[in-house]
Structure 1
């Protein structure tokens, strides 16, 4: 019995040791396969943060961040301080006098160092690295301000700040990126906190009143990736909190409404201080109705200020900087009047689905069109001392609104075509405006040009007002004049008729016959009073754009079924139905529930969304979820592993780099300039004959690894001399935090203002400079690619990622994104324009069914990408994690190939947004759809060499990845840098010393210990058995 038991024990131990050995072997195999990724996770990428070139770039970027903020701050309110007195002279609250500003009270917990919002959570989160101590909030900006001739700092009430810091030192530890609502915790002490005893036995409020009669109130709101803003408030009014606590919750207010504590604070300040100024510092536009309710004297919106943007605040308050920013979202008094309100974010949508019921009527296009149709005529509102009606009772500040410390007058100098002329498909509209500063201080102005198209009830849906062009002046001295010219073309006014609503058998872009008014406006609601501000043009008959005007390629429905008339073999004309992509229309019409209920101008009252749309289900939806695109079958094997002498990069002496050298540590590298420029030429490079030779040199494994392994890089390829190229987030400047890699604490890249601040400047030159500057930092530290800019629009104020995007308007967003792309590429960096497409919902975005009409998709959600591709030369795209309709965006060939490449003419690399496993991002669907690079460490499924069609798709994807780098290099080499604020040394490789992989040493030590342990255990296990057997035989 004992012998049997001994055998069982020995067998179990042997099995255990076998399992340990197998696990060790498998671990070593994977450690070898993912050596670079594991090394980067523990030690960081081979990036350099202390080079002389980087220091120059950082100094430039820091100054640019401040300049962007100076032009991007929006002055929403600036009341006459004599408005409630008998005085007749006008005395605006801002700018403040030197005497006022050198001593102020700063109220609001958000004013503290830990409360100030410099950036958002997620891929915009650049504030954790070595640069975190460089970030300035309002207090640091006041400390370092230079007010007046004596250059005095702004002295603020330290007792107030100490009270806030004692109340709570920081925000919640839990991140919005991880889906935690505690991230949105509102931190503000109750009103009674100001009645506590302070210095000299007086209350904190009494001391504040003695300190200054000016109250600057800071209010902030957070936002970020993977978590939309809540429709409730979680509040911390005690200062005490741990992540396990349950916070008081106010379900009567959204996160973007003012809280009761903030109301009490504003009321207290209004009752006790002569001048009350609000500084709004947040990621998303907040409901600002409280400005009127509490009769606030002035308000500036600074949004996320980045690293140095806050230094602009005292300059704006003092008048040293004249604010010239304009809003990029409309500001209603009540956020529930927005048609997206019932279908946005995780708190107002069906689980797993989002429906864009508002159709094309997003932001100002809704509010202005509703006003045109008389939808607001019965609205009234009493707020503060105002009694409002109609549009004014609904909209507090229009889109494109912003005040200045001076006044401007516009004069139309030239216009073409002349008023009343007929519009043709080739018409280019141009207007030159003289902008004269008629005020007393220097300032900059923004000229906005809109068009009003004809609308026919029941016809194509159209907004009554649409931004067509804009231009910002330079600094204009009092009495001086500057000229700006604004241009757009007929195609820019075209509507996309996906349903043939005007019954002319056309499914595509077109202009209805009728009158088109082109109007110079101060904002989306206010026409300028200059002579000739409005001109009307005539189109006598419908005008169709069946081909893209830039590429000449066919444009047709991709996401909506439509009918065509064809001639059959018998010579008869017959009607055929062409199904939507994947046989499942994005408007839900192929689902069991039918088409989603879209808002329509023909009946706003009857179609305004009042409830959350139901999910779309059925066989068509289920079949489309895993739809693999149909592509032309390939029957011949690709050529691989051919010995040839084409190399993208060589050593100085012409010899070739090894794979380990290409993976890091390139010293004395020389770019094959002639070859790379042939391959990267934007006009002829993609079809260069050298591609065939170059690609034939690559092995199967090299092709597959290049395509499948793209975790914040694209891998080295030894056979063609391609180095490993690193990529980084994000829209507010480079960072690698979301990558989860080591070395994040060493990052010292610039944290710029949020992109929305760039857009609020309405200055495309600043956006271009932003791209240049990010690229300069990138290449001088060894990084090559940029997961940015963000070209999605701000569909709703509650989208978690609004801070990464520019505007609710697709034209403004597209122009800004295009210039950032153009600047980055001009300095040699690859861009990945993101998130393509319909990624306006963050919560539950992975696999989210997104239902919308093709008209809305093209006019609102793709147009900004289209502009950035055509005008900005974007050579990279990042797809979205959601579905477009029922099909994952990255595997959606209609989106990522047929529109992006075939219609717009895009050439370059398309990377996934993260990698969610083979079940959701299968390699075949990805490559057939148009993806070239998987943002992950390998993929869960492999490329079968016997699948000739899939292998050919992988080879094309490899070409696209390589082309993007060659294209940026070529453009930079041939770009005129004479007017650029900074230039990079493109073609040089900046890489740090290779990190000692301590994890690898640890693994080797583990191998030795485990193998040795198993050996020793085996020896003693069987030795003991032998001893026992000898003992028995002796007996």
Structure 2
């Protein structure tokens, strides 16, 4: 009984490594972080064999980013680590191995400048590019003909990025432009390294013949600088591929028209045409793409053969291809599968990703056969207007073609078509979360059509949306059992008795007073190294205070505790690996650190869609594509929960901007909601069943997500079969009793028990809703035990 007791209380936090060693921040986890970083960095350009740097190459490294390395984004995605390996340090290690020689005066210039800025109060990623003297450039050119240009970017929670020329964010700053101009004029061989958590302008080097190579190194965690050096010198062959479309300008993204139109709302007028679904469909849009979705270069070459398709025994479509390494070095290949639907009555994107797979490390002339399988539901259309069948997932009649290849544009046709003689209804649903104020939606030709909206319900009439009677009263089932008067036995039962099977959960809960339950439905104070509060904490009944911890780039705990953890690469980089197995490994490794420090729920993964390049929190999210987001999230959840730790899938839903996120209304069609912004959540819930889901701050079509019953109960639980607990994001603006009524079980970081009790007394909150939420909380805790 003792081990179970310790686990259910998450006390004490004991080392989980062999022979009593701690796993938190251990060498194995740091090595995993570095390995993942190398696999997700994307080689965007490589002409004239600029990379990898040949053995013994002398190199001059320009840019403060070589010393000011950004390991990850700010806010919940930050971590406290023992060290961060910068690019300069990574290249120094390669110099020590005799592989390259770095021009030290230049390295010293940037190191001293960045150190001085840090001493003056600057933070990583927020230093200014120093003025580069002509003399230093001249000395560097005398040393070598090869230069590396480094650029870094930082973004974080609660604010969005800027997209103005010379802003030093999406675009280069004046100082960076000055540096780039000098270096390109002096050096015949130049490679660019981008250390960023989100998209930025790439036009300045894509078509510039003076730039030979460009590596998108993302934010690679604590070993990111060394991981980038691994690729630059050829110790690792790059195999990362983009999970976003990089356009020639910010204005080329359809979301740019209204991303910052208002602090109070955003109209998703592009509808389902997000990312490559827009650029590969809308006439003329393809020309504005710098690097297409799925793109990524390698140091080796690959060939596809024996490309096949058909139905398998499970009723799924199976596409396969044999991949052969035809180059001179070992490498990995990502096989991406796309569907091309027939035109019909419903406007559809010209193509959509339906699956992917990645090879093992293939030696030259080695081959591997990959198979991608998926159900027809994977490319079904949600009909929210009744063109085929209203409120149903449908497949219109016709032939559905398939392609496989290395990105959305470089593909080969599969000699198989999924053909339908008649329209097919795959799933009949009912309207949910219908828009009330969305004015129009985009069609496949780039034009817009007015959209029929549901009548707007004034926010003061929210009770009608929650099913509360006009008089605002619910009769108490037992008028004698009012808060403060519930009978409590002299010897209180303990939750451990439920865990051990000596007491049923129903029997245990029948003894809880309304006051007990109201207290359980709010976040609880921190203890130990935690700093994001906990769940439970009813000591008289043995309900533990289960601590939470931020993610997703590693365990984030109080810096003043002196505990350093592993900083893994940002989520976007992990998605660019196209390798769910390595994401699963990171989930398990991070969960072991979480568990070892006495914490029960890791607040990750976050899977909101990259609707726009300027969302300040894109580094925490995976992709513009919901399938990629859902598959990566499912792998992360599986890894986390394999270690007995709960995952928290967030932010549900449509949290696609940070500025004024707590009061901004995301206005979108039900089809866009289901096909783009909920699809990743749906996939993850059905595949991995996270123990918790975190609702988002924002409103969705006029209602705060945290109080939206159609979203939290009807869709999440009713349609998808979610079995876990829902929490709010921290300090949402909706009243707690409306959240409980909607199916949002726990309010974080703390609730308002007195107000909940008052609403129960007044009949505005059903006691049975409170009981259901408490049950979900206790069931979640018992699953952790």
Do the structures match in fold with TM over 0.5? yes
1:375 to 280, 284, 295: 284
1:598 to 419, 422, 441: 441
Give 1:226-375 correspondences, 5 Å limit. Answer: 226-232=158-164, 250=166, 255-295=169-209, 296-344=211-259, 348-370=260-282, 374-375=283-284
Q: Are 2:64 and 2:129, in contact at CA under 8 Å, matched by a contact in 1?
A: yes
Task: Tell me the residue number matched to 1:537.
Answer: 418
Task: Tell me the residue number matched to 2:527.
Answer: none
Counterparts of 1:305 and 1:170, CA distance in 2: 24
Q: Are 2:148 and 2:190, in contact at CA under 8 Å, matched by a contact in 1?
A: yes
When residues 607 and 748 of structure 1 are mapped into structure 2, their CA distance, relative to the original with a 3 A threshold, is same
Task: Tell me the residue number matched to 1:188.
Answer: 129
Q: Are 2:436 and 2:702, in contact at CA under 8 Å, matched by a contact in 1?
A: no
The yes-or-no answer on 1:210 pairing with 2:163 is: no
Q: Are 1:643 and 1:697, in contact at CA under 8 Å, matched by a contact in 2?
A: no
Greater shift, 442-451 or 262-271, is seen at 262-271
Counterparts of 1:318 and 1:156, CA distance in 2: 12
Counterparts of 2:376 and 2:16, CA distance in 1: 51
1:517 to partner: Cα distance: 0.7
1:525 to partner: Cα distance: 1.6
Counterparts of 1:498 and 1:628, CA distance in 2: 20
Write out per-residue CA displacement over residues 78-137 of structure 1, whole angstroms, 9 at most, x where no aligned residue.
102xxxxxxxxxxx111111111xx3211011211xx211111111111xx3x2x42111
When residues 953 and 167 of structure 1 are mapped into structure 2, their CA distance, relative to the original with a 3 A threshold, is same
Using the size of structure 1 for normalisation, the TM-score is: 0.69
The yes-or-no answer on 1:709 pairing with 2:523 is: yes
Write out per-residue CA displacement over residues 810-864 of structure 1, whole angstroms, 9 at most, x where no aligned residue.
0000000011001111111111111000000100111111100010011110011
1:57 to partner: Cα distance: 6.4
Gaps of at least 5 residues in structure 1 are 1-44, 81-91, 177-181, 196-202, 234-249, 377-390, 419-423, 548-554, 561-585, 589-594, 651-670, 676-688, 737-741, 970-1035
Task: Tell me the residue number matched to 1:428.
Answer: 316
The yes-or-no answer on 1:479 pairing with 2:365 is: yes
When residues 540 and 698 of structure 1 are mapped into structure 2, their CA distance, relative to the original with a 3 A threshold, is same
Counterparts of 1:106 and 1:876, CA distance in 2: 46
Greater shift, 433-442 or 855-864, is seen at 433-442
Q: Are 1:628 and 1:924, in contact at CA under 8 Å, matched by a contact in 2?
A: no
Q: What secondary structure sits across from 1:649 in the alignment?
A: helix
Using the size of structure 2 for normalisation, the TM-score is: 0.90
Task: Tell me the residue number matched to 2:337.
Answer: 449
Counterparts of 2:397 and 2:578, CA distance in 1: 32
Counterparts of 1:534 and 1:640, CA distance in 2: 71
Count of matched residue pairs: 751
Counterparts of 1:831 and 1:61, CA distance in 2: 19
Counterparts of 2:633 and 2:693, CA distance in 1: 12
Task: Tell me the residue number matched to 2:8.
Answer: none
1:170 to partner: Cα distance: 6.6
Q: What secondary structure sits across from 1:189 in the alignment?
A: coil
1:672 to partner: Cα distance: 4.0
Q: Are 2:514 and 2:757, in contact at CA under 8 Å, matched by a contact in 1?
A: no
Counterparts of 1:461 and 1:208, CA distance in 2: 56
Q: Are 1:519 and 1:535, in contact at CA under 8 Å, matched by a contact in 2?
A: no
Write out per-residue CA displacement over residues 531-558 of structure 1, whole angstroms, 9 at most, x where no aligned residue.
x6353221111111235xxxxxxx2211
Q: What secondary structure sits across from 1:715 in the alignment?
A: strand
Counterparts of 1:328 and 1:479, CA distance in 2: 28
Counterparts of 1:947 and 1:908, CA distance in 2: 29
Task: Tell me the residue number matched to 1:120.
Answer: 73
Q: What secondary structure sits across from 1:134 in the alignment?
A: coil
Write out per-residue CA displacement over residues 550-591 of structure 1, whole angstroms, 9 at most, x where no aligned residue.
xxxxx221123xxxxxxxxxxxxxxxxxxxxxxxxx252xxx
Write out per-residue CA displacement over residues 202-239 of structure 1, whole angstroms, 9 at most, x where no aligned residue.
x2112111222211110112211111111336xxxxxx
1:693 to partner: Cα distance: 1.1
Q: Are 2:56 and 2:99, in contact at CA under 8 Å, matched by a contact in 1?
A: no
When residues 874 and 634 of structure 1 are mapped into structure 2, their CA distance, relative to the original with a 3 A threshold, is farther
Task: Tell me the residue number matched to 2:576.
Answer: 760
Counterparts of 1:261 and 1:67, CA distance in 2: 33
Task: Tell me the residue number matched to 1:739.
Answer: none
- The RMSD of aligned alpha carbons is 3.0
1:321 to partner: Cα distance: 0.5
Counterparts of 1:172 and 1:925, CA distance in 2: 46
When residues 438 and 319 of structure 1 are mapped into structure 2, their CA distance, relative to the original with a 3 A threshold, is same
Q: Are 2:358 and 2:578, in contact at CA under 8 Å, matched by a contact in 1?
A: yes
Q: Are 2:309 and 2:416, in contact at CA under 8 Å, matched by a contact in 1?
A: no
Task: Tell me the residue number matched to 1:891.
Answer: 707
Structure of greater Rg = 1
Write out per-residue CA displacement over residues 15-68 of structure 1, whole angstroms, 9 at most, x where no aligned residue.
xxxxxxxxxxxxxxxxxxxxxxxxxxxxxx997799845336633321110111
Q: Are 2:45 and 2:215, in contact at CA under 8 Å, matched by a contact in 1?
A: yes
Task: Tell me the residue number matched to 2:722.
Answer: 906
Greater shift, 630-639 or 890-899, is seen at 630-639
When residues 877 and 938 of structure 1 are mapped into structure 2, their CA distance, relative to the original with a 3 A threshold, is same
Q: Are 1:587 and 1:853, in contact at CA under 8 Å, matched by a contact in 2?
A: no
1:254 to partner: Cα distance: 7.7
Q: Are 2:608 and 2:653, in contact at CA under 8 Å, matched by a contact in 1?
A: yes
Q: Are 2:69 and 2:124, in contact at CA under 8 Å, matched by a contact in 1?
A: no
Counterparts of 1:865 and 1:168, CA distance in 2: 41
Counterparts of 1:729 and 1:357, CA distance in 2: 33
Task: Tell me the residue number matched to 2:63.
Answer: 108
Counterparts of 1:217 and 1:412, CA distance in 2: 42
1:306 to partner: Cα distance: 0.8
Q: Are 2:53 and 2:233, in contact at CA under 8 Å, matched by a contact in 1?
A: yes
Q: Are 1:725 and 1:783, in contact at CA under 8 Å, matched by a contact in 2?
A: yes
Write out per-residue CA displacement over residues 132-158 of structure 1, whole angstroms, 9 at most, x where no aligned residue.
x421111121222377xxx23754223
When residues 481 and 674 of structure 1 are mapped into structure 2, their CA distance, relative to the original with a 3 A threshold, is farther
